[in-house]
Structure 1
Amino acid sequence: MTENSPGPQEPPRQDPQDAYWRPQDTTRQEQPQQEQPAAKPDAQEVAREQAQWQPTHEVQRETPPESAGTDTPAHAWAAPQQQPQQVLFGSAVGGQQGQAGVYVPPSTTHTYPTPPPLGQASPPRRANGLVVGVAVLALIVGGGAGAIGGYLVSENNAASAPSSLDVPPPAANVSANAPDGTIEAVANKTLSSVVQLRTQSGEGSGFVIRQDGLVITNNHVIEQAVGGGTLKVVFQDGQTADATVIGRDPSSDLAVVQAKGVSGKTPVVLGRSDDLKVGQAVVAIGSPFELSGTVTSGIVSSLHRPTRAGGDNGSEATVMDAIQTDAAINPGNSGGPLVNMAGQVVGINSAIYSPNSSSRQQGGSVGIGFAIPIDQARRTADEIVKTGKATQTVLGVSVQTDQNGGARVSQVVQGGAAQAAGVAVGDVVTKLNDRRIDTSDALVAAVRSLAPGDKVTLTIGNGTKTVTATLGSQPVPN
């Protein structure tokens, strides 16, 4: 047996733990109560017994350098003292021998006695063996006695000990009205209006805006059904109906579909998104991973977050001015409503940030989800319902992100709003009204959050130039 870093040697201690390192003193063994104590041997007997314990072969053991070559009997019977290592920030501290707290491997060995070989007399161990045997017997008997005693106590106290199982369940909550402003109240008000949409390639969510089954959803939820694909709407009560696409806007990732042959459905209440506050509580409802009617809650994490959504290629045509929320949104939630605590729809859940996802493997919620503001969605949906088409708000420029921040104009459309305002190629837009523009996506999202005909003030560069433009429009191709 080898140990590291022994300290200074010391005489044998009368410690039961040191018995491993030196011969047992048979005169101090405890005797069982059933036997008479052994007579104390005289000095000659002790000397003969110690002589029988002299080692016949040696076991190598490391000792410190200062004890090299000193195999004295006193040291041979002493237990080593181990010097602990000093640990600093999880690592052993290095250093030279003699420094405090530094471990130095020993370079010499020391011998320890081994038990006598077979054929030689050994010290009496009967007392020690009996002590162990009695101890084991005591554990067995004690355990059994404890179990019996515990059983008797349990049996005696069964009638008087209190138990939750003896208490009758509380009265059932028969009230159908949850307190206003709670998640339960929002769910009760909105769930019946949320639907699941199924195509031949996947599924998503939507919400009813008219009793005859008119539904708003994301364009990317239903785009596989355009041009002859199948589309079904599954309502919260289990009714399933075929549906057709009324119109869609890929640039804002919105679509309106009509369920066939239904009536009496409950439409949602549309709120507004221009007065949302960061930290405001919201609820997301939808069908994540085909689990219809799923309710999650969170807060508005941020506002006016430029986000690309609705397409696999991440093109500029799908940039939206998103509401960011930490309410759990997963694949299948797309197109479902984001609701305030008054039960009003303030956004349409459309995208999530999922760093570990790929084109073949969808990711899950990491607490960063995005929704289209309902003010923008309402205007686009209204155009689709009334005309079958949507119009897109435009400034009349093509832009790229400038390396110093802002949106650099790379092209100006002839006859567009930007040209009429005096915007030129090479100008860097850094603000739209009071909103800071850091990237090209930020400018696109800011423009699309507004309506055609709105007037905006554009700040160029460091603010030395400002222009006022009246935003235009263009039809969105289906």
Structure 2
Amino acid sequence: MVLGLVGGLLGGYLGQLGGSATEPAGVATSEPSGAPVASGGTDSQGFCDAEAVANAVLPSVVTINVVSETGGGVGTGSIIRDDGYILTNNHVVADAVSGARIVVTFSNGQQASASLVGRSQQADIAVIKVEAGETLPTITTGDSDEVAVGQPVVALGAPLGLSGSVTAGIVSALGRDVPVPADDGSTAVLAGAIQTDAAINPGNSGGALVDCDGELIGVNSAIATVPNAAGQTGGGSVGIGFAVPINLAISLAEQLIETGNVSYPYLGMQVVVIPQDVAAQFNTAPGLYVEGVTAGGPAEQAGIQTGDIITALDGEPATSAAVLTKLKLTKKVGDTVEVDYLRGTETGSTTLTLSETP
């Protein structure tokens, strides 16, 4: 399944990274040992010293095979704790919920079974764990808030199942909100995604996007593809890839490791999308139609009523459910959100304070 990119990518389409895989060979019970990665640095022209980055980071990057009775898939992950916790995408390991087996292949070729710790379908982030017999090499976490457009980066993973692949590029843009399909039929959002032209292909999903010091700044998650003459989309890189910022990904991962779940802020209302064409047909505003308001919840306390049409949230047009998902991923309990709405023919604005889910 593919979706048009929010904001318009002329002629481009967005597809989640996948890939196919066959049943891996025998599963080993031992894991490689190592220490956190060291700095890679830049070369004389100011680009990442990709060789140094690869040597430093690849030991902490794994290939993930998910094997079920109906087939399998391949993706990538980064070891974030030396006792076996691995960060990846939800869409890489979602089949494990229905009984598929997860097999991790380390950079030295050793393999181990892994279990699903938890996942955030809304952010397309998941954590798996291997039972490490030894201390595992871990990736160093950077600060995605310090990332700048134009800075050089390196992507590491298993495109098309080719483990240990390394590509280089730059940060092409920041703050992209990229909707992608979730496995439960809803829409996930890569909130504030890092856009890069480093080649990313199916199988890179869940893998590392790092800076020149080998520090993890993003989780590679999706690519844009260009449709052919028949309107079908290709599956390869066209130099437009998207990564979940590591600050968000790690925040979610820590919750998953501690509790197995992610707690999202609560708005206390149920909405449905009014698309532009439907709004025009009924001579009303596009936005989010409020189907219901929970008694005593944040929306009711803010004065939102059933039948209102929310036209903007936190300054952003409320043109899709993705804007709600982004709020849940980027806001915390106690944060306030400005809500613009239409009630009949009257416009209004209010402030909603997010609370914990009851």
Structure 1 residue corresponding to 2:298, chosen from 413, 417, 420: 417
1:457 aligns with 2:337: yes
Partner of 1:112: none
Distance in 1 separating the partners of 2:172 and 2:299: 33
Q: Which residue is 2:55 aligned to?
A: 188
The 8 Å contact of residues 196 and 241 in structure 2, kept in 1 or not, is answered as yes
The question of 1:319 aligning with 2:189 is answered yes
* Residue identity opposite 1:302 in structure 2: A
Match of 2:330, SS? Answer: coil
User: Which of the pair is proportionally richer in helix?
Assistant: 1
1:287 and 1:383 mapped to 2: Cα distance? Answer: 27
Shift of 1:289: 0.4
8 Å CA contact 1:214–1:259 kept in 2: the answer is yes
In structure 1, the residue matched to 2:250 is: 378
Report the alpha carbon displacement of residue 331 of structure 1 after superposing the two structures with TM: 0.4
SS in 1 for 2:244: strand
Tell me, yes or no, if the aligned pair for 1:284 and 1:297 is still in contact at 8 Å: yes
CA positional deviation for 1:224: 1.6
Query: Contact (CA 8 Å) 1:406, 1:430: kept in 2 or not?
Result: no
Give, in whole Å, the separation in 1 of the partners of 2:213 and 2:311.
Answer: 38
Q: Are the aligned partners of 1:334 and 1:351 in contact in 2 as well (CA < 8 Å)?
A: yes
Task: Find out whether 1:259 has 2:130 as its counterpart.
Answer: yes
Q: CA deviation at 1:268?
A: 1.1
Instruction: Give, in whole Å, the separation in 1 of the partners of 2:238 and 2:339.
Output: 36
Higher strand share: 2
Contact 1:331/1:364, CA 8 A, preserved across alignment: yes
Match of 2:240 in 1: 368
Paired AA for residue 288 in structure 2: R
Does the aligned pair in 2 maintain the 1:326–1:367 contact within 8 Å?
yes
How many Å separate the matches in 1 of 2:39 and 2:88?
A: 29
Q: Which residue of 2 aligns with 1:447?
A: 327
Distance 1:226 1:408, change over 3 A: closer
Q: Write the distance in 2 (CA, Å) between the matches of 1:326 and 1:177.
A: 22
Alignment match, 2:310: 428
Aligned to 2:64: 197
CA distance in 1, matches of 2:272, 2:151: 33
Q: Distance in 1 between matches of 2:203 and 2:353?
A: 38
Look up the equivalent residue of 1:240 and give its one-letter code.
Answer: Q
Q: How much does 1:396 deviate?
A: 3.2
C-alpha displacement at 1:284, in angstroms?
A: 1.4
Q: What is residue 400 of structure 1 aligned with on the other side?
A: 273
Q: Which amino acid aligns with 2:352?
A: A
Identify which of 210, 219, 228 aligns with 1:339: 210
Render the CA deviation track for 1:21-61: whole Å, top value 9, x for unaligned: xxxxxxxxxxxxxxxxxxxxxxxxxxxxxxxxxxxxxxxxx
Following the alignment from structure 2 to structure 1, what is the Cα–Cα distance between the partners of residues 74 and 139? 21
- CA separation in 2, counterparts of 1:218 and 1:460? 33
Normalized against structure 2, the TM-score is what?
0.73
Query: Which residue number corresponds to residue 159 of structure 2?
Result: 288
| Residues 1:372 and 1:179: Cα distance change in structure 2 (over 3 Å) | closer
Partners of 1:287 and 1:333 within 8 A in 2: yes
The within-5 A match list for 1:235-274 is 235-274=106-145
Q: What SS does the aligned partner of 1:267 have?
A: coil
Closer/same/farther in 2, CA of residues 431 and 406 from structure 1, 3 Å limit: farther
TM-score with structure 1 setting the length: 0.56
Give distance in 1, aligned partners of 2:286 and 2:322: 8
Q: Distance in 1 between matches of 2:190 and 2:252?
A: 13
Structure having the higher Rg: 1
Matched residue type, 2:332: P
**Counterpart in 2 of 1:143?**
none
Q: 1:189 to 1:217 in 2, by over 3 A?
A: same
SS at match of 1:353: strand
Counterpart Cα distance in 2 of 1:230 and 1:334 = 18
How much has 1:311 moved relative to structure 2? Answer: 3.3
> 1:468 matched to which residue of 2?
351
- Following superposition, the deviation at residue 354 of structure 1 comes to 2.1
Cα deviation, residue 345, structure 1: 1.3
Contact 1:429 1:460 in 2 (8 A): yes
Give the aligned length: 296
CA contact (8 A) 1:455 1:468 kept: no
**Match of 2:53, as an amino acid?**
V
2:30 is matched with which residue?
none
How far apart are residue 356 of structure 1 and its match?
A: 3.7
1:314 CA drift (Å): 5.9
Match of 1:33 in 2: none
Give 1:336 deviation, angstroms.
0.5
Distance 2:104 2:325 in 1: 30
Q: Distance in 2 between matches of 1:245 and 1:285?
A: 22
SS at match of 1:191: helix
* CA RMSD across the alignment: 3.1
Q: More displaced, 183-192 or 279-288?
A: 183-192
- How far apart are 1:389 and its partner, in Å? 1.8
Deviations 1:203-244 (A, max 9, x none): 100000111221011111112222432111111121111111
Q: Percent identity?
A: 40
Cα distance in 1, alignment partners of residues 40 and 212 from structure 2:
12
- Give the distance between the partners of 1:443 and 1:331, measured in 2 at CA: 27
Aligned-partner Cα distance in 2 for 1:301–1:441? 26
**Once the 2 structures are TM-superposed, how far is the Cα of residue 417 of structure 1 from its aligned partner?**
2.4
The 5-angstrom pairing of residues 12-51 of structure 1 reads none
Gaps of 5+ in 1: 1-175
Gaps of 5+ in 2: 1-37, 280-284
C-alpha deviations, 1:416-457, integer Å up to 9, x for none? 32222223443333351xx53362245224303324314133
Partner secondary structure for residue 170 of structure 2: strand
Question: CA separation of 1:454/1:331 partners in 2, compared to 1, >3 Å: closer, same or farther?
Answer: farther
Label 1:401 to 1:225 Cα distance change in 2 as closer, same or farther (>3 A): same
